Structures are given as C-alpha cells and as structure tokens.
C-alpha cells in the first residue's frame, strides 16, 4: 500500500500577508506524514524591482522575465521568501529544506519558445522534468521539501516557472510512488457556486460536472484554467486535488476543507 503524500501550493496572497503566512505555516507544520510545500513570491518581487528602478512587465497577467527580472525573482523566490518560510517551519518543529529546481537537479525545465510573446527566462515543464529519486531521498530522510518557483535547464540557466504548474508536476511524477493529493491554498473557501457568497462552496466536482458548471457560467475566469490543470493531473495519476482557504488547512483530512476534485 502506497504512503500518503500531500503537495500543497500557497498563493501570493498568503505570501504577502505576514501574519496570515505564519498561521498557515503553523497548520502546515502540524500536518502529519509526507508533505511538500510549493510557493511563488507574491508582490515582493514587483516591489523590489520598483525599488531598483526595474519595470515589471506583464502580458495578460503573466510576468515577462527578462534578465534583470530573473535576478530579482531568483533573489526573492529562491532566497528571501524561501528561507523565511523554511525558518518559520523550523521554529515550529518541521524539519524543512528549501529548494529550487536546480538543487539536486530536482526539476529541470526548458525555456519557453518565443511565439507571439517572448516571455523571456520562463521555464516550461516536460513529462520527465521531476527527478523523483532526489525528492524521495529528502522525504525518506524525514525532510519536508519547500520548493520555490525557480527551476533550471541543465545548461546552467535558471528559469522562472509557474508555481501552480510545479505543484501539479510534482504530484503527477510522485503519484507512481505515493498516493498523492494536490492542494491549492488561496483566499477563498473553495470553488464557489455564487462568487458573492463565501458559504456557497461546492464540496466535490467530477470531470463531467466541471464541464456542466463551466457551460452554466458557475465556473469562470481564472478558475477555469486552474480546474483544467487539476483534472489533467487527476487523469495522470494524482488521487485528488483540493482547492480551499489557507486558514482552513487543519480541516484537510476531513470532508470540510474546500472543494475536492476527484476521478
């Protein structure tokens, strides 16, 4: 019987709230068993870039990572933010290890090809991007990996990679060795039937129901690609995907945490 593994991704809204982040990390540290945390950098990189006179460029909400911005996001994501998170977890008795994709060759990506938009030094995940042996070694040594959104191409180049995508890739790759649950923590209690009603959480969604909810306009905007990616991960071996509020993480082992997406 495979061991259980939680792969939890926290959004920028959690990173940007210092007190909220501490409360989340307390709950994460208390989650027993194998677990991995994945994070981006929130607005800290944008603020640091502005302080240094570097303009943050976005196309449809996606960051353009030129050479100057790559230096910023590496310093913030893989440095300041990652080590702050690890230090907070250590203070709570969780023996965490902060990683980028370059560490232990854990996640190797390819630079996104230029099409209509040149995203710069952005890394795209491939089917064999994740080195499961390396991550397995950390987990079996009693360590909790904390991954930043920085990867590498194997040729000496660091790349900025979407944290949601990293979390899904880890869950898929490790599903051959563990019963993996992928958890996205953000500011809402889950997928809402009525976006204006925080209590209208949809407890469970199956693939067929997702298409119906999308057609009806219940699921729209940024939630659509998130759920597409979630069901793709389930189709590739992930046991379940949960979407819920970071404040409710202690409910993860119960039926009351957010929305569960299942096979």
Specify binding-site residues for substrate.
41-42, 63, 160
Q: How far is CA 97 from CA 77, 85, 121, 141, in A?
A: 14, 10, 25, 11
What CA–CA distance (Å, rounded) separates 193 from 172?
Answer: 28
Q: How far is CA 159 from CA 32, 49, 151, 153, 168, in A?
A: 32, 17, 5, 7, 17
Matching residue, tokens 């995203």: 119
131: Cα separation from own chain's centroid: 17
In 3D space, the residue among 172, 141, 162, 148 whose CA is nearest the CA of residue 37 turns out to be: 148
**3-state SS, residue 69:** helix
What's the chain's length in residues? 263
The H or E element spanning position 201 is none
In 3D space, the residue among 121, 7, 22 whose CA is nearest the CA of residue 73 turns out to be: 121
What lies within 8 Å, CB to CB, of 218 at 6+ separation is 193
What CA–CA distance (Å, rounded) separates 68 from 144?
Answer: 31
Known binding-site positions: 41-42, 63, 160
């Amino acid at each position: 019987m495979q061991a259980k593994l939680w792969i939890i991704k926290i959004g920028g809204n959690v990173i940007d709230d210092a007190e909220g982040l501490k409360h989340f990390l307390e709950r994460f540290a208390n989650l027993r068993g194998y677990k991995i945390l994945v994070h981006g950098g929130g607005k800290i990189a944008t603020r640091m870039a502005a302080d240094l006179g570097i303009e943050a460029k976005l196309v449809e909400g996606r960051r353009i990572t030129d050479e100057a911005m790559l230096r910023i996001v590496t310093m913030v994501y893989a440095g300041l933010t990652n080590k702050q998170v690890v230090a907070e977890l250590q203070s709570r008795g969780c023996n965490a290890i902060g990683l980028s994709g370059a560490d232990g060759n854990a996640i190797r990506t390819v630079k996104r090809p230029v099409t209509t938009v040149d995203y710069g030094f952005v890394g795209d995940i491939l089917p064999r991007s994740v080195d499961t042996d390396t991550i397995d070694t950390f987990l079996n040594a009693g360590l909790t990996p904390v991954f930043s959104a920085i990867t590498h191409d194997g040729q000496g180049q660091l790349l900025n990679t979407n944290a949601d995508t990293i979390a899904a890739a880890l869950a898929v790759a490790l599903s051959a060795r563990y019963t993996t649950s992928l958890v996205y923590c953000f500011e809402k209690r889950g997928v809402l039937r009525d976006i204006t009603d925080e209590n209208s959480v949809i407890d469970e969604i199956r693939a067929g129901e997702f298409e119906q909810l999308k057609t009806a306009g219940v699921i729209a905007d940024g939630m659509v690609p998130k759920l597409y990616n979630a069901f793709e991960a389930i189709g590739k071996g992930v046991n379940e995907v949960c979407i819920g509020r970071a404040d409710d993480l202690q409910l993860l082992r119960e039926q009351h945490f957010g929305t569960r997406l299942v096979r």
